[in-house]
Amino acid sequence: MHADTARQTISRSPLVLEGLVKNFGGVTAVAGVDLEVASREVVGVIGPNGSGKSTLFNLIAGMLPMDEGRVWLDGKEVTGQPAWRIARAGLARTFQIPSLFDNISVHDNLMAAAVESGDWKRAPHRAKETMEMLEISHVADNLASELSGGQQKLLEFGRVCMRDPSVILLDEATAGVHPNIRRIMLEAIRRVRDSGATFLVIEHDMEMVREICDRIVVMDAGQVVAEGSFDEIADNIEVQKAYLGRQV
Amino acid sequence: MVSKLSRSRFSGVLASFVGLVILAVLPGFVDPYSLRIVTGVLMWAGLACAWNIVGGYAGYISFGHSAFFGIGAYVTGILMQRDLGIPFLATLPLGILVAVGVAAAIGGPTMRLRGAYFAIATWAFAEMLMQVAIILDITGGTAGLSLPAYLNEFFFYYTMLVVALLAYLGTWYLLERTRFGFRLKALRDHEPAAEAMGIHTTLVKVQAFALSAGITSLFGSIYAYWVTFIDPRSVMGPEITDQMVVMVLLGGLGTVWGPALGATVLWLINRYIWSELGDTTIYLPILGLIIAMIVLFLPNGLISLLPGGRRGGGLMGRLLRKL
Ligand SMILES: Nc1ncnc2c1ncn2[C@@H]1O[C@H](COP(=O)(O)OP(=O)(O)OP(=O)(O)O)[C@@H](O)[C@H]1O
Ligand SMILES: [Mg+2]
């Protein structure tokens, strides 16, 4: 109890994780992760397939119950709260698998993202701005299911922007997209960061990691095995072990 | 593009206006038998609208809506008995209240789960409630319940018309023009993503279910007073739900006006079979056939055939997968 109070008063970082653990039956997907992300920082999470990155995101977002650990958002503890409450506390996320609202338009996807955040009267205007920023205005009236893979990724990010969150989790936001779309996404992420948001991003694309991440966290078998700048990580032995025999 | 859009909007407004005028003056031009059929169309259009709120907008299939129809019918029927003598209009809000309460009680625990649990729970509840109506004294059991007769077809026609119009305009506004509608469509299409947007999905689903139940109950009340005699089978039978479901699927799941279209077509077929054969046993297989045809050939319903109708979209598929 004492330590908790200390933790809360000392750290007002946008995101603080303490000892997160998640088991799936016999598999320990996340095995004690501690992490603190500073305001406006972009932290990259890398690691081989199955190392627990997405599971970590699901724990933070309250989409999976955790076995152990605690989470603070903007200095407020959100451990064990339902996903919608954590979202309202200022967290936004994208999903690794596209998870758009398929049967409504692009414009309406953005509107639906804003229902619980901010000034509803301004939502149409913000949707318009967001579509312009992401260069998807021309498909505003298309159903989300009619978009190309890259446009879907942009729309996922657009929904995040509509929420005006303080912490953003991106799970492979640019995986497999055209370089053009990657450029749009990159610029959008920078803009949102500059306006005050903090990022935790899972990325497989090292070019992307180098360009946007201030700091990198390497996960392997559910644990953080290395942490540092891109250059530090690039010649780190643990990282090479984690990726041994795999394509980075 | 813009002028085309506003032109189609203009023709839509014009068509609605002409339709309204026709509906308003209709009783002066048709015989009582036909008027009863149109009154039935209005009722079923309203019921389909109610079912569509849960089925089409929340994406949860209810197989128990007959329970709410029956609740409205019995609340009105019981309260209007001679010893109580409560006026018809005063019974309506009470029926709504009971239906909304019951829907919240069933929806609360079952709508957290996958759609299949909800479908089964609603079905089981409706069956159970019908059995209860059969054994209770207050409902008159299988012998049924007679209400004070009010033989004024105009009254029932206009009551159904006004309530159906309110149901449609209300749901149109609520589902297509407010945050509530966005919340519903979001959770229908992707529940975890909706939660990630801060939407309290369970609460919103239960609200939608309760709203739907309330509207259904209202029509049950009017129906009971209209036909002046109810029994468990006629106001709680599963055919009532079946028909609501098929009407919505036929007209266009998750669209505002599709259910009205489906209800009109299907109720006219129903009455035609009735007048030709004096019996509607063949109607059930026809319903089954229609469902199969829609799933295979017309997944977006009749409304998708109209100009300006909804484009393709996999709503039906998503709904089925959700089970
Ligand atoms: N719902 C689940 N049930 C059982 N096991 C799961 C579940 N989700 C994840 N796992 C397991 O947990 C481990 C971590 O998976 P996770 O998806 O978090 O990895 P990841 O780092 O995101 O991988 P990738 O780079 O492929 O996306 C894997 O062994 C996976 O099989
Ligand atoms: Mg993953």
CB A185 within 8 A of CB A12: no
Q: A102 CA to chain B: closest CA distance, Å?
A: 6
Q: How sure is the predictor about B310, in pLDDT bands with cuts at 50, 70 and 90?
A: low
Task: State whether the beta carbon of A55 lies less than 6 angstroms from ligand 1.
Answer: yes
Is residue A19's pLDDT more than 90?
yes
> Residue A140: its chain B contacts at CB < 8 A?
none
Is residue A127's pLDDT more than 50?
yes
Task: State whether the beta carbon of A27 lies less than 6 angstroms from ligand 1.
Answer: yes
Q: How sure is the predictor about B276, in pLDDT bands with cuts at 50, 70 and 90?
A: confident
Digit-coded pLDDT (tens) for B190-203:
999 999 999 999 99
Q: Cβ B185–A103 below 8 Å, yes or no?
A: yes
Domains of chain A by residue range: 38-65+75-244
With 0.90 as the threshold, say if the pTM is over it: yes
DSSP state of B56: I
Q: Which of B246, B259, B212, B195 is nearest to B58 (CA)?
A: B212
Is residue B319's pLDDT more than 80?
no
Determine the 3-state secondary structure of A74 from DSSP.
coil
CA gap B34, A89 in Å, rounded:
58
Domain A38-65+75-244 listed as CATH 3.40.50.300: yes
Q: How sure is the predictor about B305, in pLDDT bands with cuts at 50, 70 and 90?
A: confident
Residue of A nearest to B316 (CA): A103
Is residue B91's pLDDT more than 50?
yes
CA gap B155, B75 in Å, rounded:
20
Residue A51 structure tokens: 């190392």
- Cα B180 to chain center, whole Å? 19
Sign of CA dihedral B77, B80, B84, B86: positive
Give Cα separations from B196 to A128, A153, A203, B183, B219 (angstroms).
Answer: 21, 16, 20, 12, 37
Which of A 67-106 lie inside 8 A of B, CB atoms?
82-85, 87-88, 92-93, 95, 99-104
pLDDT for A24 equals 96
Write out A139-187 in H/E/C secondary structure.
Answer: HCCCEHHHCCHHHHHHHHHHHHHHHCCCEEEEECCCCCCCHHHHHHHHH
Q: How sure is the predictor about B1, in pLDDT bands with cuts at 50, 70 and 90?
A: very low
- Measured between CB atoms, does A112 come within 8 Å of chain B? yes
pLDDT for B4 equals 55
CA gap B236, B270 in Å, rounded:
18
Task: State whether the beta carbon of A29 lies less than 6 angstroms from ligand 1.
Answer: yes
Task: State whether the beta carbon of A179 lies less than 6 angstroms from ligand 1.
Answer: no
What is the mean predicted confidence (pLDDT) over A3-31?
Answer: 81
CA gap A218, A231 in Å, rounded:
13
The residue assigned the tokens 């019951």 is B102
Residue A67 structure tokens: 């076995």
Digit-coded pLDDT (tens) for A49-108:
999 999 999 999 999 999 999 999 999 999 999 999 999 999 999 999 989 999 999 999
Q: A115 CA to chain B: closest CA distance, Å?
A: 6
> Residue A85: its chain B contacts at CB < 8 A?
198
CA gap B290, B240 in Å, rounded:
16
Q: How far is the CA of A69 from the centre of ligand 1 (A)?
A: 18
pLDDT for B116 equals 86
Mean per-residue pLDDT over chain A, rounded: 91
Task: State whether the beta carbon of A247 lies less than 6 angstroms from ligand 1.
Answer: no
Is residue B264's pLDDT more than 60?
yes
Q: How sure is the predictor about A6, in pLDDT bands with cuts at 50, 70 and 90?
A: very low
Share of chain B above pLDDT 70, in %: 94
> Residue B320: its chain A contacts at CB < 8 A?
none
Q: A62 CA to chain B: closest CA distance, Å?
A: 9
Give Cα separations from B194 to B187, B253, B258 (angstroms).
Answer: 5, 20, 25
> What are the phi and psi torsion angles at A90 (to 5°)?
120, 10
pLDDT for A248 equals 47
Give Cα separations from B28 to A60, B23, B35, B301 (angstroms).
Answer: 66, 10, 10, 33
Q: How far is the CA of B59 from the centre of ligand 1 (A)?
A: 28
